[in-house]
Amino acid sequence: MSVSDFLSKVALHKEYNAFIQIDEIDLNKRFENICDGPLKGELVAVKDNICVEGLNLTCASKMLDGFKVPYSATVIQKLEKAGAIIAGKTNLDEFAMGSSNEFSYFGPAFNSVDKSRVAGGSSGGSTVAVGCGLVDYALGSDTGGSVRQPASFNGVVGLKPSYGRVSRYGLVAFASSFDQIGPITKTVEQSAKILGVIAGHDPLDATSMDVPVPDYVANLKRPASEFTIGIPKEYFGEGIQPEVEEAVRKTIINMETAGAKIIEVSLPHTEYGIAVYYIISSAEASSNLARYDGVRYGFRGSDESMDEMFRQTRAKGFGSEVKRRIMLGTYVLSSGYYDSFYGQAQKVRRIIKEDYLNVFKKVDAIITPTTPTTAFKSGEKLTDPMAMYLNDIYTVSANLVGIPAMSLPVGNDKNGLPIGCQIMAPSFKEETIFQLGTLIEGFQK
């Protein structure tokens, strides 16, 4: 695809608002300087909370107005070394805080299947860019489901790697003990290919793990009979859309028919996942976002006095959802409440992790729905934060525990909206997820 062809496609899909920034001059330079490698000439869209040298970094926030980064994230360097071309920066919920991509300073992204529906969040722009066929694949970040949930809503494949599998150097921190960069693709094989390029130890990231990276693509095929799969009863309870449950259960039946051993398992503390996630992630966000004060870079609200400058910068620079989470995080970390909220949440996080460790002693992987429903109408949940947060009920646990998880499409509801199925596996067992994903993909053909 040429630069002009790409720009023409983007213009035709402008109303989806997938991209925040495309620099035509920069893009032409990237086309002229392609490296030889396994991804030569392939276009990748990048969520605009990942640093790309020469391009602005906004995090979809007024707070970073006019900020241009002087370096590229490790994942970007690896992709370009493999021959990929950075197409531009994609839309997201401000500072990656949201489940619908409606909390963006640049306006919402819209679902690639139905423009009246949300794209999902926070990596909405990246999934829409892939769903509309504007790029070959995209990068997103996943803190509580921000790759998998919009992937489910747009009928594409979204992977959250194990915590520590992919370098976070150059990713703007939201909640540092949760954040992971992951690929958004059309197929499982593409996902395996991209992870093989971006994974690996990075000395610039203290949380990056020095664990061997398998040849994922070479090992995609494995018979279903070699797998034992757990089905957690807690993921099929109240609130799930019947068509979502039916599609995922059909997938499970197909796996069993193909020879996999299916057993029911229990993750008894699943119900606490949302509360634990929003307490700990908001606490980490309140600390990480303290650096945005108008002093060093980005938006500055006032020059009247130092106190007024801080006040105006943060009041005008941040949107409503970011301010909500900063206030929640500051509250749970405050004197008198720390032990009751943050301390307790950390203890429950450990208990949830033990649930998963115990289950993975019996099974190779877990299969669940990705989301309780298909994509909802734009604006439907904007005034109800709790209803919005519950969209992540099936995805947050993988981030709490640090395990890999992938969403892939397994059908559509009566309105033609995609339904996602989620596969989770033990830490650094992405290979298992790709193998199961390949089998599940085969059932859709």
HSE toward the beta carbon, residue 103, CA cutoff 13 A: 26
Please state the separation of Cα 99 from the chain's center in Å.
10
Point out the catalytic residue in the list 99, 146, 281, 427.
146
Which of 61, 104, 122, 397 is catalytic? The answer is: 122
Contacts of 391 (CB under 8 A, 6+ apart): 99, 100, 120, 145, 149, 371, 372, 373, 381
Active site residue 281: no
Q: To 5 degrees, how large is the angle CA 120–CA 123–CA 128?
A: 70
In angstroms, rounded to a whole number, what is the distance separating the alpha carbons of residues 154 and 91?
A: 15
DSSP 201-264: --TT-TT--------TTTT----GGG-EEEEEGGGGSTT--HHHHHHHHHHHHHHHHTT-EEEE
- Find the catalytic residue in 47, 62, 78, 89: 47
* Alpha-carbon distances of 142 from 7, 95, 184, 392, rounded to whole Å: 28, 12, 11, 11
Nearest to 20 by CA among 113, 136, 138, 142: 138
Q: Which residues contact 340 (CB under 8 A, 6 or more apart)?
A: none
Does the annotation count 47 as an active-site position?
yes
State how far the Cα of 52 lies from the Cα of 59, in Å rounded to an integer.
12
**Cα 198 to Cα 277: distance, rounded to the nearest angstrom:** 26
Q: Are 378 and 102 in contact (CB under 8 A)?
A: yes
- Residue 336 Rama label (left phi>0; alpha psi -120 to 50; beta): left
Strand pairing class (180-185; 137-142): antiparallel
Active site residues: 47, 122, 146
